Each structure stands twice: as C-alpha cells, then as structure tokens.
Amino acid sequence: MTPRGTDWGLALLVSLLFGTGVLTWFSGDEDNRWVLAAHAAGGGALAILLGWKLRRVGRRLLHPRSWDRRTRAGLAALAFVALTLLSGWIWSTFGRVDLGGYTLLAWHTLLGALLTVAVGVHLGFRAKRLRIRDVAGRRQLFEAAAIGLGGVIAWRVQRPLSAALGLPGADRRFTGSYEADSFAGNAFPTTSWVADDPKPLDSRAYRLAVDGEVTSPLSLAFEELDGNDELVATLDCTGGFYSEQHWRGVNIGKLIDRAEAGAGARHVRVVSVTGYRWSFSLDDAREMLLATRVADEALSHGHGAPVRLVAPGRRGFQWVKWVTRLELRGDGDPGAFPSTILSSFSAAGRGA
Ligand code: HEM
C-alpha cells in the first residue's frame, strides 16, 4: 500500500466511523445491528491500518532529534486516534466507566467528533491527490481486503472473547449500552440529552394539547391520560445505559383518533414544555405511548412527569419528557434536532 493510499485509507475509515457512530443514535432496534457491526469492524480496520503506517514511519519516531513540526503534528494525531480507539474498546469490553461525571462513551463520542474535524482540516490543507497506482492493482486490492477482513474478525471475536474471560462487555446490548435497574420503577438513571431542567409541572394544572392537522383539537387533563394502556419497552440512552420497563398511560393512536386526523396529516410532533421536540410518522406514532407511570409508580419529575413519550425501538433522546403537545402535521421536522439542543437554553428549559 502506498503512503498516499494509506493516508487516504485512514481518512476514509475515520469518516466511516464518524458516520456509523452518529447512526448509532438512531439505532435502537434489532434491525440496526449492522450499524454497530460496521462501527466495530471499522475500528478494527483502522487499528490495523494505523499499525501499517507506524511500521513505515516508526523508525523516525524513535529518534526525537530528527523530529520536525510535521512529525510532532503526526504524533498528536496518533495520540488522538489511539485515545478514540482505546475509549471505544475499553467501553465495549470492560463495562460502564465514568470519567469526570460523564461516561467513557460520552468522552469517546467527543473524541471521535474532534478527530473527524481534525482529519477534515488536515485533508483541506495537505491532501495529496490520489493517483491510479494508489488504488489500482492486485496488491492494493489484497491489502485492502486483508485489512477489512482483519476488522471483521476483530468484531466477531470481541464478544465471545469477553464472554470467555468473564468481562462485562459480553453482557452489553448491541448498541453498546449496559443494563440499569430494569423493572424497578423510577430507580433507573435520570439523564438529559443536553441540559433540559424545567421546574416540576403541577399535574392538577397540566393540559395536553392535541392540535395541528386535526378536525377536533383536544385539550386534555392529566386524569384523561393516566389510563391503562401498557407497553413493555426498553429505554436505551445514548449515554450508555438501557432499562427495560413496564410503562402505563395512553396509546397515542387513541388520541389521534379522538382528535380526528386531517387528510393531510402525515407526521406527529411530540413537544415538551421546554420546547424540545421530536417528530414521528403518523403510523409509528400510533404505536407509541404517552406514559404517566412506570412499574405502577407515578413518573418522577426527572423521568418526565407528569407525561413522557415511550417510543419503542428509538434511542432515549427521542423519548420526549414533560410532553405538553402533540401536533399533527403534513411535513416532517428538520428543526427537531436543533430543538433538542436549543431547548436547554430556553427559559422553560432553564427552569423559569
Ligand atoms: C470517528 C472516530 C471513531 C472511532 C475511531 C471509533 C472507534 C470505536 C471502537 C474501536 C469501538 C469499539 C467497538 C467494539 O469493540 O465493539 C467503538 C465503540 C463505540 N463507538 Fe465509536 N468511534 C468513533 C466515533 C464514534 C462516534 C462519533 C460515536 C457516536 C456518535 C461513536 C459511538 C460508539 C458506540 C456507541 C460504541 C459502543 C459500541 C459497542 O459497544 O458495541 N463512535 N468506537
């Protein structure tokens, strides 16, 4: 493999890992296992290719007197990649590790994002154009296939090896999350995607609006939502824990029928008192629950009281807390993702 081909290969793998890393946020369902598999195999391939590169430049690194600015920048980049890889492997092998109040997985996400930005900037300034001989030829093909295969093997052996050695990684969910307080009511961890921290809502004054593309807009009191519809569903937080729970409340499909969805309604926006929102297709939303209870306990404030969304197969940040509005719409919601960050800076999100 040529030096140029190796460097482009490294950049390509970092982009793949960033892409699949971000996709893990949208992979709560078993159908999405491939995302995590691609991420793990990509990590293995990156480590092998990095070893390949080190074999070439390693001798220079052993003689600090010959270092120039480029060597130092290269060493910083190497440290960055190594930390990102290590944080991923430590998490997926040794279980839940916390550092400075955040999970190692959260640090891993930050490192991965910074690494991707650094690689992008580096490419912008220094990228050398690929030549035909960097990519064509049997030798390049075999070497690339060997690296890919190495990555796949690393992914395949990681879990069985952890099980054989009795390491916690063998028990993690396919998303990389570890189990916490399943079927134990409000005991499971209370986390916020960014920093939403509203003041508690009084269930006696609470109203839920169901409006938008509907024939009969609704304004419902808490008692009308505190029903007997049930779901057993797993809340899987991108911070790295999952908790399976018995949820109770009201099925959203019933509310949609009561409000009589208009002919143009295609999506449902689920909106929090903080302005945080997420949007689902009408069909998906019909299967979801607005929960008032978990394992027969009234929801605690930290878990979104009086009413939170239960969205099976979706990652935790889409399970909107402190829900005050369902809005039926014809269009999807490109503003949903920004809202999940901006809500933490809104007056209600800050507890006003
Ligand atoms: C761009 C550089 C990145 C690299 C080099 C990298 C590498 C790795 C590696 C080697 C693992 C261990 C895989 C395993 O053994 O199963 C891992 C795990 C993980 N990474 Fe990344 N990653 C990167 C970015 C990200 C980003 C940006 C996210 C999230 C947005 C992310 C999310 C995860 C998750 C959820 C796991 C746990 C998966 C599991 O336990 O099976 N990664 N990563």
161-207 pLDDT, tens per residue?
999 999 999 999 999 999 999 999 999 999 999 999 999 999 999 99
- Find the 21 Cα to ligand 1 centroid distance in Å: 6
**In degrees, to the nearest 5, what angle opens at C-alpha 113 toward C-alphas 75 and 22?**
140
CA dihedral 267, 270, 276, 279 (to 10 degrees): -20
Q: What is the pLDDT of residue 255?
A: 98
- Find the 42 Cα to ligand 1 centroid distance in Å: 9
Q: Is residue 118 within 6 Å of ligand 1 at its C-beta?
A: no
Q: Is residue 36 within 6 Å of ligand 1 at its C-beta?
A: yes
Q: Is residue 109 within 6 Å of ligand 1 at its C-beta?
A: yes
Q: Is residue 18 within 6 Å of ligand 1 at its C-beta?
A: yes
Arithmetic mean of pLDDT, 313-328: 98
Q: Does the pLDDT value for residue 15 go beyond 90? A: yes
Query: Cα separation of 181 and 315, whole Å?
Result: 17
> Which amino acid is located at 181 in the chain?
D
Mutate which of 23, 92, 162 to test ligand 1's pocket (most atoms within 8 Å of Cβ)?
Answer: 92
Query: Omega into 306 within 30° of 0, i.e. cis?
Result: yes
Question: For atom 17 of ligand 1, which residue has the closest CA?
Answer: 88
Q: What is the pLDDT of residue 57?
A: 83
Question: For atom 14 of ligand 1, which residue has the closest CA?
Answer: 40
Phi–psi pair at 243, nearest 5 degrees: -145, 125
- Find the 133 Cα to ligand 1 centroid distance in Å: 32
Q: Which of 2-16, 69-83, 119-133, 316-330 ranks highest by mean pLDDT?
A: 316-330
- Find the 92 Cα to ligand 1 centroid distance in Å: 9
- Find the 39 Cα to ligand 1 centroid distance in Å: 6
- Find the 17 Cα to ligand 1 centroid distance in Å: 7
Q: Which of 49-58, 68-77, 285-294 ranks highest by mean pLDDT?
A: 285-294
Least confident of 54-68, 81-95, 251-265, 280-294: 54-68
Q: Does the pLDDT value for residue 52 go beyond 80? A: yes
Q: Is 202 exposed, middle or buried, given 0-12, 13-18 or 19+ CB atoms closer than 10 A?
A: exposed
Q: Is residue 14 within 6 Å of ligand 1 at its C-beta?
A: yes
Q: Is residue 116 within 6 Å of ligand 1 at its C-beta?
A: yes
Q: What is the pLDDT of residue 61?
A: 81
Pairwise pLDDT comparison (201 vs 52), residue with the higher score: 201
Q: What is the pLDDT of residue 64?
A: 82
Q: What is the pLDDT of residue 252?
A: 98
Tokens 């295969």, residue?
149
pLDDT digits (tens, 9 = 90+) for 95-151: 999 999 999 999 999 999 999 999 988 888 777 888 888 788 888 889 999 999 999
- Find the 281 Cα to ligand 1 centroid distance in Å: 29
Phi–psi pair at 348, nearest 5 degrees: -65, -35
Arithmetic mean of pLDDT, 268-295: 98
**In degrees, to the nearest 5, what angle opens at C-alpha 308 toward C-alphas 223 and 203?**
35
Q: Is residue 85 within 6 Å of ligand 1 at its C-beta?
A: yes
Strand order in the sheet with 207-212: 218-221, 207-212, 323-329, 267-272, 277-281
Q: Is residue 41 within 6 Å of ligand 1 at its C-beta?
A: no
- Identify the band that residue 74 occupies on the pLDDT scale cut at 50, 70 and 90: confident
Q: What is the pLDDT of residue 40?
A: 98
Give me the percent of the chain exceeding a pLDDT of 90.
83
Arithmetic mean of pLDDT, 31-47: 98
Q: What is the pLDDT of residue 72?
A: 84
- Find the 194 Cα to ligand 1 centroid distance in Å: 20
Question: For atom 29 of ligand 1, which residue has the closest CA?
Answer: 21
Q: Is residue 43 within 6 Å of ligand 1 at its C-beta?
A: yes
Output the pTM of the full model.
Answer: 0.93
- Find the 157 Cα to ligand 1 centroid distance in Å: 16
Question: For atom 31 of ligand 1, which residue has the closest CA?
Answer: 21
Tell me which residue of 287, 238, 303, 275 sits closest to 91, measured CA to CA. 238
- Find the 46 Cα to ligand 1 centroid distance in Å: 12
Q: Is residue 161 within 6 Å of ligand 1 at its C-beta?
A: no
Tell me which residue of 309, 313, 249, 301 sits closest to 276, measured CA to CA. 309
> Which amino acid is located at 44 in the chain?
G
Pairwise pLDDT comparison (129 vs 252), residue with the higher score: 252
Q: Is residue 112 within 6 Å of ligand 1 at its C-beta?
A: yes
Under 8 Å between Cβ of 60 and 78: no
Q: What is the pLDDT of residue 175?
A: 98
